[in-house]
Amino acid sequence: MKRREALLTGLAALAARAARAESLPFRLTEVAPGIHVRQGAMAEATPENADAIANTGCIIGDSAIAVVDPGGSLTDGERLLAAIRALSDRPIRYVVQTHFHPDHCFGAAAFLPDGPVFVGHARMPGAIAARGEYYRQRLADSLGEAQAGRPVVPTFLVAVESSFDLGNRVLDLRAHPTAHTDNDLTLFDRRTATLWAGDLLFVDRVPSIDGSLLGWLRVLGDLEAVPAARAVPGHGPPSVPWPAGAAAEERYLRVLEREIRDLQARGGTIEEAAATVGVEERDNWLLFDDYNGRNVTAAFAELEWD
């Protein structure tokens, strides 16, 4: 009897979580003609937000649609699909995944019935093999197995550059060296001069280093030369002017580099760095205390060997 009651309680909790997720507002903002962005919640993943914390959306061409980052859970992906279908019945031909972090790509399975080509960095399959089950289990523990979703391994792999046409709309894809992660991919829409930057661009929410501080700064320098009118960040507003929209992120990353190098030159420890480096930036970023210490620890180890 107790086991049955526990099961019913668990099922009721999952149903309540699903209902809360379904009640979340879902709005696509058109930041340029045919470029539609859903702004993610500026928060960590919770059952209440269904891991809808990253910017996602679509690009609509004359003959087809490309989804860019299919959402942070199966629930999120399903709701993105429904929102896209409210805009257009053109075929979804591509699902572009800008990198392998759950908040950007665990909604991919929602698009499988449409039979699109799944696009990713050439290193993304390796990242999925190394971390996919760990990420899936963590998300399932939070949202429940039915809602969590799972990764979909891309079959269209970009090693350097590639492009495809949605019908009078050519999209240029570029694979980057290790920066935010080791599998960052950006997309540029020629028609509107819009750069979809993924998590190479954080606005308002503190950046998260899962790759290389120095690599990220080099990639930012390269991207600032892209002739874009606007950029869609991985986290932040639906779009920002480019390259001005990257100024705060670049400042933060350079503060980390400068202060860590100064501390290392004085013989300071990694513990001291985690407690002191970057604190002047605290008031400039959401979730600063959740990520700055991790960023400093990762960057300290990298710069120690630079």
Mean pLDDT of 113-137: 96
Mean pLDDT of 101-122: 97
Judged by average pLDDT, the poorest of 57-71, 129-143, 207-221 is 129-143
Residue 55 has phi, psi (to 5 degrees) of: -75, 130
The full set of domain ranges for the chain reads: 2-244
Distance CA 238, CA 232 (A): 6
Mean pLDDT of 87-113: 97
Mean pLDDT of 163-169: 98
pLDDT of residue 24: 56
Query: What are the structure tokens assigned to 237, written together?
Result: 């507003």
pLDDT of residue 9: 46
pLDDT of residue 143: 86
pLDDT of residue 26: 83
What are the start-end ranges of the H helices in 149-269? 213-223, 247-265
Place of tokens 């099961």: 7
Judged by average pLDDT, the poorest of 24-28, 95-99, 215-219 is 24-28
pLDDT, tens digit (0-9, with 9 covering 90-100), for 8-62: 444 444 444 444 445 556 899 999 999 999 999 999 988 888 999 999 999 999 9
pLDDT of residue 47: 87
Distances (CA, A) of 36 to 58, 68, 156: 5, 10, 23
Percent of the chain with pLDDT over 70: 92
Distances (CA, A) of 42 to 52, 103, 285, 301, 306: 9, 12, 11, 28, 33
pLDDT of residue 295: 98
Give me the chain's average pLDDT, please: 92
Could you tell me if 84 and 107 are in contact, meaning their C-beta atoms sit under 8 angstroms apart?
no
Residue 66 has phi, psi (to 5 degrees) of: -115, 130
The sign of the torsion formed by the CA atoms of 299, 301, 302, 306 equals positive
Mean pLDDT of 108-127: 97
Distance CA 138, CA 46 (A): 11
Amino acid identity of residue 199, one-letter, is D
Could you tell me if 133 and 195 are in contact, meaning their C-beta atoms sit under 8 angstroms apart?
no
Q: What is the DSSP letter of 206?
A: P
Element (H or E) spanning 16, and its range?
A: helix 2-23
Residue 184 has pLDDT above 60, yes or no: yes
The sign of the torsion formed by the CA atoms of 209, 214, 218, 221 equals positive
Distance CA 112, CA 181 (A): 25
Instruction: Give strand ranges (E) for the chain.
Output: 29-32, 35-38, 56-60, 65-68, 92-96, 117-121, 156-158, 161-165, 170-175, 185-189, 194-202, 230-235, 240-241
Could you tell me if 232 and 203 are in contact, meaning their C-beta atoms sit under 8 angstroms apart?
no
Amino acid identity of residue 160, one-letter, is V
Confidence of residue 144 (pLDDT cuts 50, 70, 90): confident
pLDDT of residue 268: 96
Place of tokens 């892209």: 226
pLDDT of residue 5: 53
Place of tokens 């990298």: 302
Class of domain 2-244: alpha beta
- Residue 303: strand, helix, or coil: helix
Q: What is the DSSP letter of 152?
A: -
Percent of the chain with pLDDT over 90: 85
